Chains A and B, each alone.
Chain A
Amino acid sequence: MTPLELLQIVIFFGVLIVLTPLLGGFMAHVFAGERTLLTPVLRPVEGIIYRLSGVNATEEQDWHGYAIALIAFNVLGFLVVFLLQLAQGALPLNPAGLASVEPALAFNTATSFMTNTNWQSYAGETTMSYATQMLGLAVQNFVSAATGIAVVIALTRGLARRTAHTLGNFWVDLVRATLYVLLPVSLILALLLVSQGVVQNFNAYTEATTLMGETQVLPQGPAASQIAIKQLGSNGGGFFNVNSAHPFENPTPLSNFLQMLSLLLIAAALTNTYGRMIGSQRQGWVIFGAMLTLLAAGLSLMLVSEYSANPMFGIAGVMEGKEVRFGITNSILWGAATTAASNGSVNAMHSSFTPLAGGIAMLNMLLGEIIFGGVGAGLYGMLIFVILTVFIAGLMVGRTPEYLGKKIEAREIQMAIVAILLPSAAVLLMTAFASVTEAGLSNRANAGPHGFSEILYAFASASNNNGSAFAGLNANTPFYNVLLGIAMWIGRFGVIVPVLAIAGSMVGKKTAPPSPGTFPTDGAVFAGLLIAVILIVGALTFFPALTLGPIVEHLLMAAGRSF
Chain B
Amino acid sequence: MKSIFIALRMLVVLTILTGVIYPLVVTLAAQAVFPAQANGSLETRDGVVVGSSLIGQNMNGDPSYFWSRPSAIGYSPLPSSGSNLGPTSATLAQTVAERAAAFREANALPEDAVVPTEMLFASGSGLDPHISPEAARLQVERVAAARGLAVEQVNALVDAAIEAPQFVFLGQPRVNVLLLNLALDEAANG
Kindly identify, within residues 1 to 20 of chain B, every residue whose CB is under 8 Å from any CB belonging to chain A.
3-15, 17-20
Instruction: Tell me the smallest distance from the CB of A402 to a CB of chain B, in Å.
Output: 35
Chain B contacts of A247 at CB under 8 A?
52, 54-56, 125, 127-129
Which of A203, A206, A253 has its CB near the most chain B CB atoms (within 10 A)? A253
Q: Which residues of B contact A201 (CB under 8 A)?
A: 27, 30-31, 38-40
Q: Are B166 and A246 in contact (CB under 8 A)?
A: no
Which residues in A have their C-beta under 8 angstroms from that of B12?
53
Question: Which stretch from A219-227, A393-401, A519-527 is at the chain B interface?
Answer: A219-227
**Which residues, 316 to 330 on A, are CB-close (under 8 Å) to B?**
317-327, 330
Option from A136, A175, A220, A312 in Cβ contact (under 8 Å) with B87: A312
Chain A residues closer than 8 Å to B11, beta-carbon distance: 73, 76-77, 80, 143
Residues in B whose Cβ lies below 8 Å from that of A417: none
Partner of B84, one of A199, A256, A330, A472: A472
Question: Is the C-beta of A511 less than 8 angstroms from some C-beta in chain B?
Answer: no
Q: Would you call A62 an interface residue if the criterion is a C-beta within 8 Å of the partner chain's C-beta atoms? A: no
A199-B38, A210-B51, A319-B117 are contacts. A352–B10 as well, Cβ < 8 Å?
no
Q: Is A427 an interface residue (CB 8 A)?
A: no
Does B189 lie at the interface of the complex (its beta carbon under 8 Å from any beta carbon of A)? no
Does B86 belong to the interface (CB within 8 Å)? yes
Enumerate A130-166 residues with CB–CB distance to B below 8 Å.
134-136, 138-139, 141-143
By a CB distance below 8 angstroms, the chain B residues around A68 are 3
| Contact A54 B6, beta carbon cutoff 8 Å | yes
Q: Which candidate, B104-112, B144-152, B153-161, B169-177, is the interface stretch facing chain A? A: B169-177
Please pick, from A69, A202, A557, the residue contacting B3 in the complex, using a CB distance under 8 A: A69
Q: Does A448 contact B (CB under 8 A)?
A: yes
- Asked if A41 is an interface residue, CB under 8 A from chain B, the answer is no
Complex Cα gap A199–B69 (Å): 23
**A4–B118 CB distance below 8 A:** no
Given known pairs A54-B6, A197-B41, A557-B87, the reply for A134 and B27 (CB within 8 Å) is no
A195 interfacial contact with B, CB 8 Å: yes
Indicate if A208 sits at the interface (CB-CB under 8 A).
yes
List, in ascending order, chain B residues with CB within 8 A of A142's CB: 14, 18
Report the Cα distance A80→B8, complex, angstroms: 10
- Which residues in A have their C-beta under 8 angstroms from that of B3? 65, 68-69, 72
Within 8 A of B (CB), among A171-218: 171, 174-175, 178-179, 183, 186-187, 190-191, 194-203, 205-212, 214, 216-218
Check if B143 is an interface residue, CB within 8 A of chain A: no
CB-CB nearest in chain A for B97: A313
Say whether B22 contacts A253, CB under 8 Å: no
| Assembly CA distance A318 to B120 (angstroms) | 9
Q: In chain B, residues 23-64, which have Cβ atoms closer than 8 Å to a Cβ of chain A?
A: 23, 25-27, 29-31, 33-34, 37-42, 48-52, 54-59, 62
Given known A-B contacts A211-B185, A212-B58, A218-B40, A195 and B50 have beta carbons under 8 A apart: no
Across the interface, do B167 and A445 meet the contact criterion of CB distance under 8 Å? no
B101 within 8 A of A: no
Chain A residues with CB under 8 Å of B139's CB are none
Interface string of A215-247 (1 = CB under 8 A from B): 011111010111011000000000011100111
- Could you tell me if B50 and A210 are in contact, using CB atoms closer than 8 angstroms? yes
The docked-state distance in angstroms from the alpha carbon of A214 to that of B12 is 45
| Residue A477 is within 8 A (CB to CB) of chain B in the complex | no
Which stretch in A343-351, A361-369, A378-386, A489-497 binds the other chain? Answer: A343-351
In the bound complex, do residue B124 and residue A217 qualify as a contact, i.e. CB atoms below 8 Å apart?
no
CB distance from A143 to the nearest CB of B (A): 6
Pick from B49, B52, B84, B90: contact of A349, CB under 8 Å: B84
A49 interface residue per 8 A CB criterion: yes
Q: Are A210 and B58 in contact (CB under 8 A)?
A: yes
- In this complex, how many residues of chain A approach chain B with their Cβ under 8 Å: the count is 126
Interface string of A509-525 (1 = CB under 8 A from B): 00000000000000000
Closest to A316 in B: B117
Asked if A241 meets B80 with Cβ closer than 8 Å, knowing A142-B18, A201-B27, A348-B124, the reply is yes
- Decide if A138 touches B18 in the complex (CB within 8 Å): yes
Which residues on B sit within 8 Å (CB–CB) of A217? Answer: 76-78
Q: What residue in chain A is nearest B89 (Cβ atoms)? A: A446
Chain A residue nearest in CB terms to B38: A200
- Closest B residue to A219 by beta carbon equals B77
A208 contacts B42, C-beta separation under 8 Å: yes
Q: With a CB–CB cut-off of 8 A, which chain B residues contact A138?
A: 18-19, 22-23
Contacts of B117 in A (CB 8 A): 315, 317-319
Q: How far is the CB of A109 from chain B (nearest CB, A)?
A: 15
On whether A325 and B14 interact (CB within 8 A), knowing A216-B57, A319-B118, A472-B84, the answer reads: no
Q: A8 contacts the other chain (Cβ, under 8 Å)?
A: yes
Residues on B with C-beta less than 8 A from A540 are none
B169 contacts A7, CB within 8 Å? Answer: yes
Cβ contact within 8 Å between B54 and A349:
no
Q: Which listed residue (A124, A183, A195) contacts B18, Cβ 8 A?
A: A183
CB distance from A3 to the nearest CB of B (A): 10
| Contact (Cβ within 8 A) A216 B55 | yes
With A8-B169, A139-B14, A453-B86 already in contact, the answer to whether A216 and B76 are too (CB < 8 A) is yes
Per-residue 0/1 for B85-124: is the Cβ within 8 Å of any A Cβ (1 yes, 0 no)? 1111110110010000000000000000000011011111
28 contacts between A and B (CB under 8 A): A53-B6, A135-B15, A138-B18, A138-B22, A143-B11, A178-B17, A178-B18, A191-B29, A200-B30, A201-B31, A208-B42, A208-B49, A211-B65, A313-B93, A319-B117, A319-B121, A319-B123, A320-B82, A320-B83, A320-B122, A324-B174, A325-B171, A325-B172, A330-B171, A352-B86, A446-B88, A447-B90, A553-B88
Where the two chains meet, the residues of A that have a C-beta atom closer than 8 Å to any C-beta of B are 4-5, 7-8, 11, 49, 52-55, 65, 68-69, 72-73, 76-77, 80, 123-126, 134-136, 138-139, 141-143, 171, 174-175, 178-179, 183, 186-187, 190-191, 194-203, 205-212, 214, 216-220, 222, 224-226, 228-229, 240-242, 245-248, 251-254, 256-257, 310, 312-313, 315, 317-327, 330-331, 346-349, 351-355, 358, 445-450, 453, 470-472, 553, 556-557, 561-563
| Extra A-B contacts (12), CB below 8 Å, given A225-B23, A245-B125 | A178-B18, A191-B29, A191-B30, A198-B37, A208-B51, A209-B50, A224-B26, A240-B79, A240-B80, A247-B125, A321-B82, A324-B123
For the complex of A and B, the 4 pairs showing the least CB-CB separation, nearest first, are A253-B171, A123-B79, A472-B84, A245-B124
Binding site for A on B (CB under 8 A): 3-15, 17-20, 22-23, 25-27, 29-31, 33-34, 37-42, 48-52, 54-59, 62, 65, 69, 75-90, 92-93, 96, 117-118, 120-132, 165-167, 169-172, 174, 178, 181-182, 185
